[in-house]
Amino acid sequence: MGGYMRIAIADDESDVVNYLKNLVEEMGHVATSFSDGAALSQSLVRETYDLVIMDWTMPKKDGLATLNWMQTSLQERPPVIMMTNRTAKKDISDALNAGADDYITKPEDPSVICARINALLRRSAGSGAFEAKAVYGAYTFDRIDQTVTVEDKIVTLTAKEFELADMFFRNRDRTLSRNYIMETIWRTTAALATRTLDMHISRVRAKLDLKPENGFRIFTVFGYGYRLESIEKR
Amino acid sequence: MNLRRRLLIEWALIALFGTLAVILATHWRGTSAFDNLVYDQLSSISRPKPDNKILLINIDEASLARVGKWPWNRNIHAQLIDKLASAGPRTILLDVLMSEASSAADDRALVEAMQKSGAVYLPLNFHSPGSDGKAYDTEYPLSVLDAAAKGVGHVNITFDNDGIVRRINLCFDSGERSWPHLAELIYRNGAAPSPAFAGLARCSQHLLLPYAPRDSYSEISFVDAHEGRIPDQLVKGRDIIIGATAAGMGDNYPAPFSDGGVVSGSEIMANVVAALRRDDFIASAPVWQISLFSLLPMWLLMLGFLRWQPRTALIVSLCLIATVLVAGMVALSASIWFPPGAALIGIILVYPLWGWRRLQAMSAFMQSELGELEREGEIVPLALNPDRGSDLVGRQSAALGSAIDHLRDLRRFVSDSLEHLPDPMFVTDMVGTVTMANHRIEDYLGPKLKGTALKSLLDRIVAPMHRRSVDEYLRAIEREPTGDHQPFVRFVSPDGSHFVMRSAPVVNDLDVHVGQIHYLADISALAQAESDREEALQLLSHDMRSPQSAIIALLPTVPDKDVSRRIEGHARRTIALAQDFVDVARMGESPFEGTDVLLTNLAHDVTDNFWPLAQERSVRIEVIDDSDSGFVLAEPDSLGRAIANILDNAIKFSPVGGSIQVRTRRIRDVEARMLELTICDEGPGIDPDLLPRLFTRFAARSVPDARIKSSGLGLTYVRAVAERHGGKVWVENGKKGACFHLRLPEAADPIPDPAA
């Protein structure tokens, strides 16, 4: 990942802002901080950012309002990570359905936050170009043979399962909506029983043995979609 | 029996009876005495004037005294006729029977006189019964006289039942031929028949005779006329009627005069002639007309009984009686006689009859209704009070009065209850019109709600966004008043008040659904409390969490890593506790809203979350799916948390290096397809005594078993979640450790998509 990125951080809690700022700067990026949604919005008009991390609950203009404003008023909207203290799954799916690209429930481990930031920056940098072979920890994807090798063992997947797994790994640590997944893999959103996706994912998890011990887990965002999380081995 | 029906039947019977009575009275002339009385009175009101073209010459007591004993020498009659003829009368009626011959000279003298005058009329006589089985024998005048007479006619007198002469017949059928009345012949005097005669329906038809006042005709004594004391002007152009008036001669008849006196045959004759000239005989109406005339007022009254108050019926009855009499009078003045007796009988009969039957019916009805009321036992005491009425009806009235008092009290109680209900209430009928509304709703929406449409009332009290659910609720109740539907509907009014509306069908005595009663409860305070509670939960879940997150965010700057790690532990524990509390508090607050969840997927999610803890304790967790992708209809939040509580417990009590098995599988339950999630650990297991009541609050709090105690409210929560999902949870000790079983109904298959 070449060069640094410009990241806007908005939260009314200065300690959290500083914590995130340190984290982002340690990653080699440039962080600009704001204490409320209005200030962030003002800056977004003039400046260009590669990523926005903002709190849901902010004075003057809260996260959702800012997000809506960005949807309608900015020509090119940077990806947004919504941070929230809310844990109800409905709140999370609401935020994502409102257009947030991802969300983080506070408090979250620094490693997870970094992974999420990277996932979004990867996307906005346009990376993920098709290489014949890709290695993610113990998993090796051969895109020509459409096979996955887990620690030297070849796992046989159907075409759809391979596509699904490949998509998750390329977008690891990024929350993908069900619609996005279905559009990409099945090229349709309609006419596909929602259970089909759940069952495919369940099979991919079983076949690839995706679990924290192997460095990855599939996380279900109920009411929205799925995310493949990379687990940092302690 | 229904009072109304019974009264109708009584009414019909009375109408039938009255009609029969009237018709029979008309046909059998049962009221003739009364009718005659009325006729006499009515006809005396206005009598015709005497005809001054008629002169009566009376053979009176004075004449008998002078001339001698009757029968007189016919020569005397001849002399009088000669005298009269010389004065030029129009006709001379010699109303004396001359059927036997007297001396030939006298007879001849009379014949000559008659021939000379050429204007003498003689009467016929009839004997009844006649010889040889004939009805009558005709007694002609002496043939010579007969030949000399200008005309011969009958002079029969017809007596009514009471012996009074009211009617005459202008024509008499003797069985051999029909004879015109002598008066008719005088009327004609050789010219055309009278209109009255021409108008007779049949020969024997009687006509009522209008009498001029008694003794009003010009009359002179026979002896005066005979002796020439009569001016010629008195005779000239007149019809002379010579007849007997002397009391002893038997030619006097009772006539319809109020003073009850008699009139002479010749006066009757004079009246007949005069009536012929005036053409004002009074015809009795035909029987069918009389029947109709008699029935009409009764029928009118009968119809009136169905609608009028008894008082009105009485007044109308009296008016009808008067009307019948007046109508009779009017008809009489138009020369038609309607006997009013039958009509009056009809009226006088049905009025008391109806009064009696109606009272009887009412009485029976009251008795049965009161009995009914008593049997239902809702209004007590209802004992008849014997002191308060002298007769049965009086006692019933008293009982009815007290029943009505009770009902009035009851109604008052009901209306007061409705009125003073602390919440708005109104009633609508089947077409959706408000028929009743208490003060509370009128305070809210303004007065005069009664009569407005339910729709417009709802428009005013229900905010548009809630209108649909209210309408659906009302429709559901209307469709199936007693069926299973949601017990109430909740809505917000345009001014922001919160209401719960409950509607119930109103059913009448016959179990017919007649309307709806709607009860609104103002739950604004409750709604406020709800939102306060939500705010409090929000505070716990979010606002309390926020500083804890900030603490954790600050930790990297703490130099002592060990302290930092412990602070983080405490902060996270605080967050977890708040989360626990909120989750438990929230559960059950909203209706169950499940989504399709792949059970093994959820098991993986939860298990993966526990990986750090498991790793710390070197516990291996294995997730096995034997359910072949079984879905449950679940709330992922609560169900995930329930599984997490079980798993947390399992990890805590697993030996280091132990393994936990999380297995999902299908179960063929008796009634439904079920999925079962089993979590088995290799820990010490659970005290068998505790197994049955493990998931109760009691067990959670008061059991010395560390394992149960440590789970706190966790297992209670698990059971609540299982029940919320229509499933159950239990625990047993397996081969190695405890096994928790969570059994849930499998989600129904989705409707297959044809395009898939």
| DSSP string covering B488-530 | -EEEE-TTS-EEEEEEEEEE-TTS-EEEEEEEEEE-HHHHHHH
Residues in chain B: 756
The structure tokens listed for B348 are 């006088």
> Which residue type, as a one-letter code, is found at position B266?
S
| Residue from the list B548, B636, B750 with its beta carbon closest to the beta carbon of A107 | B548
d(CA B369, CA B375): 10
What amino acid occupies position A158? T
pLDDT along chain B (756 residues), means of 10: 81 91 85 86 86 89 86 86 88 85 84 87 82 79 83 86 86 83 88 87 86 87 87 87 85 81 86 89 86 89 86 89 90 87 88 87 81 66 51 74 80 80 84 83 80 84 86 80 73 86 81 83 85 81 80 82 84 79 73 85 90 86 86 88 87 86 84 86 79 63 51 73 88 84 84 47
| Among B291, B351, B255, CA closest to B15 | B351
Residue of A nearest to B548 (CA): A107
B50 touches B213 (CB < 8 A): yes
Rounded CA separation B7/A180 (Å): 83
Rounded Cα distance between A201 and A199, Å, is 5
Residues from chain A that touch B612, judged by Cβ atoms under 8 A, are: 212, 234
The residue among B263, B167, B277, B155 whose CA lies nearest residue B215 is B263
C-alpha–C-alpha distance, residues A72 and A76, integer Å: 10
Rounded Cα gap, residues B732 and B687, in angstroms? 10
If one compares B31 and A123, the residue with the highest pLDDT of the two is: B31
CB atoms within 10 A of CB B576: 11
The nearest CA of chain B is from the CA of A55 a distance in Å of 11
Which residue does chain B place closest to A104, by CA atoms? Answer: B549
Q: How far apart are CA B299 and CA A28, in angstroms?
A: 116
Rounded CA gap, B493 and B382, in Å?
A: 48
Residues of B within 8 A of A18 (CB-CB) are 553
Q: Do A220 and B601 touch (CB under 8 A)?
A: yes
Per-residue pLDDT, A234:
46
Phi, psi of B138, deg, nearest 5 = -90, 130
Chain B residues whose CB is inside 8 A of the A234 CB are: 612, 615
Do β-strands A225-230 and A175-177 pair in parallel, antiparallel, or remain unpaired? antiparallel
How far is C-alpha B339 from the geometric centre of its chain's CA atoms?
A: 39
Cβ under 8 Å to B: A residues 186-205 = 190-196, 198-199, 201-202, 205
Encode burial over B221-234: b for 16+ CB neighbours within 10 A, e otherwise.
Answer: bbbbbbeeebeeee
**CA angle (A78, A28, B554) in 5-degree steps:** 90
Q: How far is CA A124 from CA A77, A78, A118, A120, B276, in A?
A: 11, 8, 10, 6, 136
For residue B534, count other CB atoms closer than 10 A to its CB: 13
CB contact under 8 A, B549 and A107: yes
Q: Which fold has domain B421-522?
A: Beta-Lactamase (3.30.450)
Residue A202 contacts residue B598 (beta carbons within 8 Å) = yes
Give the pLDDT of residue A233: 60
How much is the CA Rg of chain B, to the nearest whole Å? 59
Compute the half-sphere exposure of residue B447: CA atoms within 13 Å on the CB side of its CA: 0
The answer for residues whose C-beta is within 8 angstroms of residue B161's C-beta and 6 or more apart is: B32, B33, B36
Domain boundaries in chain A? 6-124, 133-230
Domain with residues A133-230, CATH architecture: Orthogonal Bundle (1.10)
Residue whose token pair is 């209210």: B470
| Biggest distance spanned by C-alpha atoms of chain B | 190
Q: Please report the DSSP string for B23-59 in residue order.
A: HHHHHTTTTHHHHHHHHHHHHHHS-PPPPTTEEEEEE
Mean pLDDT of A227-231: 87
Which of B534, B535, B546 to mutate to test binding with chain A, by most A CBs within 10 Å of its CB?
B546
Radius of gyration of chain A (CA): 18
Burial class (CB in 10 A: 0-12, 13-18, 19+), B365: middle
For residues A142 and A156, the answer to whether their CB atoms sit within 8 Å is: no
Distance from CA of B571 to the nearest CA of A (A): 10
Element at A222 (helix H, strand E): none
Q: What angle do CA B652, B653, B659 make, to 5 degrees?
A: 95
Given pLDDT bands bounded at 50, 70 and 90, which one contains residue A1? very low
CB A146 within 8 A of CB A159: yes
Residue spans per domain, chain B: 3-42+286-369, 49-279, 377-416, 421-522, 528-583, 592-745
- Long-range contacts: B354-362, Cβ < 8 Å, 24+? B354/B10, B354/B11, B354/B14, B354/B302, B354/B305, B354/B313, B355/B310, B357/B10, B357/B11, B357/B13, B357/B14, B358/B7, B358/B10, B358/B305, B359/B393, B360/B10, B361/B3, B361/B6, B361/B7, B361/B10, B362/B3, B362/B393
Q: Using a CB-CB distance cutoff of 8 angstroms, which residues of chain A are in contact with residue B752?
A: 193
Spatial distance between the Cα atoms of B60 and B79, rounded to a whole number of angstroms: 18
d(CA B743, nearest CA chain A) in Å: 21
Q: For residue A37, what pLDDT is reported?
A: 85
Query: May I ask the CATH class of domain A6-124?
Result: alpha beta
Q: What is the ipTM of this complex?
A: 0.83
DSSP B247-258: GGGS-EEE-S-T
- For A60-73, the pLDDT digits (tens) are 888 888 888 888 88
Closest CA to B637 of A225, A228, A222: A222
In angstroms, rounded to a whole number, what is the distance separating the alpha carbons of residues B567 and B550? 12
Q: Does domain B592-745 have CATH number 3.30.565.10?
A: yes
Query: What residues in B contact A110, CB-CB < 8 Å?
Result: 556
- Say if CB B427 and CB B518 are below 8 A apart: yes
Q: Chain B residue with minimal CA distance to A211? A: B608
Q: Write the DSSP string, B466-490.
A: HHHHHHHHHHHHHHSTTS---S-EE
Note the pLDDT of residue B322: 92
Tokens of A10: 């908005």
Report CA dihedral (A180, A185, A191, A196) to the nearest 10 degrees.
-100
| Residue pointed to by tokens 């002397």 | B246
Three-state DSSP class for residue B8: helix
Q: Which residue of B has its CA nearest to A223?
A: B595
Give the per-residue pLDDT at B16: 92
Measure the CA–CA gap between B487 and B323, rounded to whole angstroms.
Answer: 68
- CB spacing of A13 vs B637 below 8 angstroms: no
